[in-house]
Amino acid sequence: MNPSPNKGYILIFWLALVVPTQAARTAKHAALTQPFVKLCTLIGELKMTHEYVNDKLKQQAELTSKLEILVDQLDIYSRTTADPAEARLATALTGSARRATAQAGETEVTLARLGLTLAIRAGVVAGQATEFFEIMDQVTGDNPTAGGCLIDAGSGTAVSSYTGLKTKLVGCQSQAIPEATAGNAKQTAKPDFDAVTAEADISDPGSYTQANCFLLADPDSSGTGPAGVNARHNKLLYAAGAIQLDGTPLLQVKALKDTASEPTLSRYNELKQAQAAFDQIVLTDPTTADKVLYEFIMQDQTFLKAAAAVISNANKTGAQVLGDTNIMNQIRAKIGKNDAAFTANYLKTICGITIADNNEWGIKLTDKKLSGLTNTEEYAHLLTFFALTSQTQPENKECDSQVHVTTAEKVCNAIEKEQECNHTKDCHYDSKKDGKKCTLKKTVKEKLENESQEKGGKDGKNESKCGEAKIEDECKKVPGKIPEGKKAVCGWIEGKCKDSSVLVN
């Protein structure tokens, strides 16, 4: 027997009664908080973008700083080693290390430029979203039944338990933005745009039908929308375009995974582009600074040319050295076959040389080792000391007095900050002076010139008294003022009598 057609209609009618349907949106009705949770989570992440940028900048700055320390250690070693070949190689390494450090500094500048763009764009988007939700929250009050526009539940007594932005949408709440952390990085998470999925039709909140939310009014109905006029293209864009209201009226949250094809999401697309550009720079762990330097010098053609001349007595271009397996193996044998060997052998030897304390010159390194050289102030003290006490004589001895004065002046001239200048021995900061403001003190300059002349600087007879001693016994008896921390004026080192104030390996 065929079923009665009337039974089908009865079934449809019964389902319509018992199955709840989602209410269509009505102009000016409030909105539930739940559909906005993912968007507000992203907005909260964007408000920490400056910390995300800061984390990376500090990591790169730390790498640059560690490379600078290696430069300083290599430079001092090149000035103290008694082996001329070692000194030449260390000088070449110092130059290469300076270039590696400069490269790291350039990366730091690029990160700062891209990071500023990223942080500003994130601030624009987060600001627009926060303002929209704050306005929606302000008109709600303590009792949503009095005309709220954001509520937690759709109907009944649950409406009165409204908690608003503070618990449901905290990322969209107006809040103080903390200053970027000065200490250890916060390891801030990268903003996750893809997590914001579409909410295609945010319906009315069930039986709660308060209709005083003018920001959610029909945008193509004159007199009911914001300011009482129609919206352009019959569409309202909120939260930088992530929330859209059209003339249906249809309230929705747009997905943020693909923003390039959606003109109304241009602010988010620009922000994602800035994020991608910033993240494209791959950072290196600062603790691997030795490895960074090794990999750089083994490709630095300027260094390789110098190293080939010192180690292999070969006159070749850097490119030719790179292609010469024999010479490259000789260079590796000297400084390390890999980065681990470079650290464990060559750098360890350098860092292990003794640097005696010298209170007069402000020299006091940890364990009296070059490894204790960890900041620019210590380096400045050592550099000044060696510049003013070096026994190395210029080929043109008639210019010796000027060489010592000029070297000392260069040390002072290289200092830019007033406090550092005045704390550096024999330097003086003159704010009224044109050009280099940190200069060698006038009295010191005159003293150096007089001392050099007394030693025969102008007539070419300024050979060190220590250098005149040819045997160890004579070396120990050289008369004169014994340097602080030393037992004699001169010391017998590697078969030569040398001034004991010069620190050697």
Q: Tens digits of per-residue pLDDT, 447-478?
A: 766 665 444 333 333 335 787 776 676 787 78
Tell me which of 278 and 165 has the higher pLDDT.
278
Contact of 148 with 162, CB cutoff 8 Å: yes
Give the whole-angstrom CA distance, residue 2 versus residue 279. Answer: 69
Give the whole-angstrom CA distance, residue 143 versus residue 120. Answer: 37
Q: Which domains does the chain have, with CATH numbers?
A: 28-57+112-279 (3.90.150.10), 369-390+392-463 (no CATH), 464-505 (no CATH)
What's the confidence (pLDDT) of residue 310?
Answer: 94
Helices (H) and strands (E) in the chain, counts: 17, 9
5 contacts: CB under 8 Å, gap ≥ 6? none
What's the confidence (pLDDT) of residue 481?
Answer: 76
CA 56, distance to chain mean position in Å, is 5
pLDDT at 67 exceeding the cut of 70: yes
Give the whole-angstrom CA distance, residue 442 versus residue 386. Answer: 20
Any idea which of 246-250, 280-284, 491-495 has the lowest mean pLDDT? 491-495
Tell me which of 70 and 390 has the higher pLDDT.
70
Give the whole-angstrom CA distance, residue 121 versus residue 325. Answer: 51
Q: Tens digits of per-residue pLDDT, 86-109?
A: 999 999 999 999 999 999 999 999
pLDDT at 258 exceeding the cut of 90: yes
User: What average pLDDT does this structure show over 103-117?
Assistant: 97
What's the confidence (pLDDT) of residue 449?
Answer: 64
Name the band, by pLDDT with cuts 50, 70 and 90, for residue 400: very low
Contact of 409 with 439, CB cutoff 8 Å: yes
What's the confidence (pLDDT) of residue 235?
Answer: 84
Name the band, by pLDDT with cuts 50, 70 and 90, for residue 222: low
Q: Which of 291, 292, 227, 271 is nearest to 125 (CA)?
A: 271
Tell me which of 144 and 129 has the higher pLDDT.
129
Q: What is the model's pTM?
A: 0.69
Q: How much is the mean pLDDT over the chain?
A: 80
Name the band, by pLDDT with cuts 50, 70 and 90, for residue 429: confident
Taking the CB of residue 293, how many other CB atoms lie within 10 A of it? 26
What is the percent of the chain with per-residue pLDDT over 90, rounded to a whole number?
43
Selection from 180-189, 360-369, 432-441 with the highest mean pLDDT: 360-369
Residue 291: enclosing H or E segment and its boundaries? helix 289-297
358 contacts: CB under 8 Å, gap ≥ 6? 364, 385, 484, 485
Residues present in the chain in total: 505
What's the confidence (pLDDT) of residue 441?
Answer: 84
User: What average pLDDT does this structure show over 251-263?
Assistant: 95
DSSP 349-407: HHHTSB---BGGGTB--GGGBGGG--SHHHHHHHHHHHHHH--PPPSSGGGHHHHHHHH
What's the confidence (pLDDT) of residue 339?
Answer: 97
Buried b or exposed e, range 102-128, using 16+ CB within 10 angstroms: eebbebbeebeebbebbbebbbebbeb
Token duo for residue 164: 């608003």
Give the whole-angstrom CA distance, residue 256 versus residue 250. Answer: 18
